[in-house]
Structure 1
Amino acid sequence: MEKEVVPAVLSVINEKRLLGDKRTPVEIISKMGVFDARQKASDSAWLATGDNIIATIWAEFVSIGAGGRWFCLESLDASRRADGGERSALQLQRAKDRIALLKRAMDAGQGVRAVLQTNRVAIADLETDKAAKVSVRVPDDEEWHVARWDADEKIAVLVRGARGWVPTDEDLQAGLARGSVPAPEPEVVIVQSSPQEAQAAAVAYLTKHFSSYGYKAENVSSQQLGHDIEVFDKKGATLLKLAIKGTAPGVSTFQLSSEERAGAQRGDPWRLAVVTDATTPAAQHKIYKPSEIGSVPGLEALPG
């Protein structure tokens, strides 16, 4: 929206709009050489005639650096919107196409022709609000170029005007505040679990699981019966005798004790239940019949 645009940038846009020809957003890019402009009007970058690269510059994202130089920070993370949310398949493809064209311009030392654009909704809602149509689009008389490309940080810097100037660190921080680049995703810290922690979490998980269905799940693991919980129906009949094993970060394998193997040989209602990622919110389980334990992932043979 115009209230989000730096006044100096908005002044140029308004002057261009008032003094220029009255053209629609589609007519503007068509006149600049975009083939099938109507079908491609919602794209954000185009390869035009003469191998010219044209890119939308959202005025809301433009910052003013030292000496009055304009610049814009470009996210190279095609999968995430500016607000950090995941893009739809169509949005993802458009973002990838835009990044590819900007990279092509940089590699070729080629400038980028820009169309300056403001939008009818807050810029943060650009990709999620159905009313997020172009408010104003004008061709910029000044050429832009890619002044910096940092694949590790997933940021490119687009600069308006002559080459040789780059924003200062202070400028870049101000540019980041305009919100064109999503905040870094929080680092996921994987906590390693001990076998005892994985086992306890697996037993607790399955006890809760069966209880939530109205069954009685009794923990008998301390009795060394060859199974860890017994599951009863509402009438008290035994449905399952479960030997439980848990895997988790740091715990990828497990063994069956001699009592558990004896339980498997006795057969029904004995089962082996394996809970993967037992210590995490992603825990899930699978139950195996005695005849299937030879192919259970993670099950080690007894030593000797």
Structure 2
Amino acid sequence: MQSEVPQEVFSYIDKQRLDGKDQSATEWLTRLGVAEPRSVNTEYAWSRNRDPAVVCTIWAEFVQIDRHGRWYVRERLEADTKLGGGERSTNQKRRAQNRINLLRPTEGSSKTVVALLQINKTSIEELKQNENAETIVRVKDEEHWQVVGWDESKKEAWLVRGAAPWLPSLDEPTAEPPPVDESRASPGENESNFGFPDYETRKRIEDAAVAHVRQHYQGLGYRVDSKETQNVGYDLEVTDSSTGEIVGRVEVKGTSQQVPAFYITRNERATAKALDVWKLAIVTNAIDEPTLQILSADEMEADFEFTEIAWRCLPR
């Protein structure tokens, strides 16, 4: 989903989308000269009778960026199992193997491939269970990609973006995220690094917090619509059922702790300053004994200290 896509990648895809270049798989395959596009639009890679000869999908959520700002992907060479473990379906196995078979001959030959960058509607964790997830945006990358490494023993290949081949250094991040300290569910008073809990715990806390806030507003007679997957700077839109007036655009922050500490993104904070009806709903003890506090943007700025704990650094 878009919140898991690196900002540089998301910005590129979003610009292509705003330029009208978001198309369905069938439309792209037709334009790219793939034979019988409608019958093969669910594949993961395709061949065509022109150079570059291979077209493949790339999930934007799995794109990583090296210290020089270059994009790359670590490709799994495992056709039989899902990302999160467990056996793929027969069709998924065939599609995955077809992708491997098409990409393998391009490795080390300086042959480029055409990439269709796509963002999925669901999170990576959900994709691990269901690899037929719905795509919410799909654009053609104007840059070609190359397969620059292929390791059968590790069941892994390297795909890099750009016409000139390059190899990410061996100390680049691995395909799986590093382990985190699950005992630290929220930032502490003297926080100096990131301490996020595991995905399952975060999801339980977030879902419990959103459900509690939704119940609060519905109990007051309001209609509540989710905006959680739209990256608009808030999670819930609250509407007066009788007048249709939007009375709250609510960003929900949940924690399992008693202290109402939270992380907020630059987009969320900017949205808070731009929208008069933006609200911050903080749910402490979200899972066991939820307690709700609702603040305006001004109250949030007055009541909390905003501490920069990390910067994203790119070459000048």
Interval containing the TM-score (normalised by the shorter chain): 0.5 to 0.7
1:107 Cα deviation after fit: 5.8
Partner SS, residue 50 of structure 2: helix
- Greater mean deviation of Cα atoms: 103-112 or 4-13: 103-112
CA radius of gyration, larger in: 1
Instruction: Look up the match of 2:2.
Output: 2
Would the aligned equivalents of 2:82 and 2:129 in 1 still touch at CA under 8 Å? no
Partners of 1:19 and 1:55 lie apart in 2 by 22
Map of 1:167-246 to 2, 5 A cutoff?
167-173=168-174, 175-177=175-177
Partners of 1:130 and 1:158 lie apart in 2 by 20
1:18 paired with 2:6, answer: no
Instruction: Look up the match of 1:36.
Output: 36
1:113 Cα deviation after fit: 0.5
Instruction: Look up the match of 1:126.
Output: 127
Instruction: Render the CA deviation track for 1:68-96: whole Å, top value 9, x for unaligned.
Output: 00000101111111112211111111110
1:94 paired with 2:95, answer: yes
Partner SS, residue 172 of structure 2: helix
Instruction: Render the CA deviation track for 1:84-123: whole Å, top value 9, x for unaligned.
Output: 2211111111110000000022264311100000111113
- Given the two structures, how large is their TM-score scaled by the length of structure 2? 0.53
- Given the two structures, how large is their TM-score scaled by the length of structure 1? 0.55
CA separation of 1:15 and 1:108: change in aligned 2, threshold 3 A = same
Instruction: Look up the match of 1:115.
Output: 116
1:131 Cα deviation after fit: 7.3
Would the aligned equivalents of 1:147 and 1:163 in 2 still touch at CA under 8 Å? no
Partner SS, residue 80 of structure 1: coil
- Greater mean deviation of Cα atoms: 32-41 or 2-11: 32-41
Map of 1:29-178 to 2, 5 A cutoff?
29-50=29-50, 52-106=53-107, 108-126=109-127, 128-129=129-130, 132-173=133-174, 175-177=175-177
Instruction: Look up the match of 2:237.
Output: none
Partner SS, residue 78 of structure 1: coil
Would the aligned equivalents of 2:84 and 2:129 in 1 still touch at CA under 8 Å? no
Q: Which runs of 5 or more structure 1 residues have no equivalent in the other structure?
A: 179-304
Instruction: Look up the match of 1:209.
Output: none
1:128 Cα deviation after fit: 4.1
Would the aligned equivalents of 1:73 and 1:176 in 2 still touch at CA under 8 Å? no
Q: Percent identity, please.
A: 38
- Counterpart residue identity of residue 41, structure 1: N
Instruction: Look up the match of 2:276.
Output: none
Partner SS, residue 166 of structure 2: coil
- Greater mean deviation of Cα atoms: 114-123 or 22-31: 22-31
CA root-mean-square deviation? 2.2
Partners of 1:30 and 1:125 lie apart in 2 by 30
- Counterpart residue identity of residue 40, structure 2: K
- Counterpart residue identity of residue 12, structure 2: V
Partners of 1:11 and 1:27 lie apart in 2 by 22
- Counterpart residue identity of residue 132, structure 1: A
Partners of 1:22 and 1:80 lie apart in 2 by 30
- Greater mean deviation of Cα atoms: 50-59 or 91-100: 50-59
CA separation of 1:123 and 1:42: change in aligned 2, threshold 3 A = farther
Instruction: Render the CA deviation track for 1:257-304: whole Å, top value 9, x for unaligned.
Output: xxxxxxxxxxxxxxxxxxxxxxxxxxxxxxxxxxxxxxxxxxxxxxxx
Partners of 1:102 and 1:166 lie apart in 2 by 17
| Matched pairs, number | 178
Would the aligned equivalents of 1:25 and 1:137 in 2 still touch at CA under 8 Å? yes
CA separation of 1:130 and 1:113: change in aligned 2, threshold 3 A = closer
Instruction: Render the CA deviation track for 1:33-92: whole Å, top value 9, x for unaligned.
Output: 111212111111000232610000100000000210000010111111111221111111
1:22 Cα deviation after fit: 5.4
Higher helix share: 1
Partners of 1:58 and 1:146 lie apart in 2 by 16
Partners of 1:85 and 1:93 lie apart in 2 by 16
Partners of 1:40 and 1:5 lie apart in 2 by 26
Would the aligned equivalents of 1:79 and 1:86 in 2 still touch at CA under 8 Å? yes
- Greater mean deviation of Cα atoms: 71-80 or 30-39: 30-39
